Chain A
């Protein structure tokens, strides 16, 4: 299933729970806002081994930016479970500053139902993608990632943030 569908499902679910999906554009327009500081605590919550691999890999990718990742419960909470939605992963801002749009708390969720049977490489790509959202990144498309090397891409599953992604995160934190 395409990541565009995932994005649409994410928005619908986020509206349903009155939380905002953390999908920010690479340009000037922030759709959900970047994190509110450059020190991000990560708390994982009884993850499967695949989910744990995704979280570790995603965290390491975001650590390549100016954001310093640490362990703790004050910023990012990571979950995995069999969710009914048509999305592989989801990042939602649960506490956003009304003035500047920056996000204090986010939930990252991996959908084991749709990821079932996928290799570690796919899980790592998913981790990179969702943690990228938590850094304020939005989706990228073939037109803006012609060398197919960003995990923020739709449709394909690269495992790494590329230099454009890293620059975009660093510009907002």
Chain B
């Protein structure tokens, strides 16, 4: 009985925390999550800057439509200075990485550094 109640409460909590405009399912979810796995805690010591950029670029093209602006901010953070890119404030960058990070953890079931879901 207690287990069932906990399950219902967990489900309700997840539903309440899920951003209204973001889907739980979308056509390219598998590709998005496969590339997001590059950033898992256990992988952080092994990935190069180039691998980070390639993964986030792939995530950007497979992300839900509602997350495209945020993904652009993340890609721009990793592109070399020599390439055209935009800058956002440190606070905005932090806000975007937390928003996308939390979405990744919930949608893909991954564990990212410094993201709590």
Contact = CB atoms under 8 A, between A and B. Distances in A.
A101 B74 CA distance: 12
A20 B52 contact: no
A98 B113 contact: yes
Interface of A, secondary structure class, is loop
Interface residues on A, range: 10 to 19
B49 A20 contact: no
Interface stretch (A23-31, A60-68, A152-160): A23-31
Contacts of B56: 99
Interface of A: 18, 20, 28-33, 37, 95-101, 104
A100 B101 contact: no
B41 interface: yes
Contacts of B39: 98-99
B21 interface: no
Given A95-B114, A100-B52, 16 more contacts: A18-B41, A20-B45, A28-B50, A30-B49, A32-B44, A96-B113, A96-B114, A97-B113, A98-B39, A98-B112, A98-B113, A99-B56, A99-B100, A99-B101, A100-B77, A101-B47
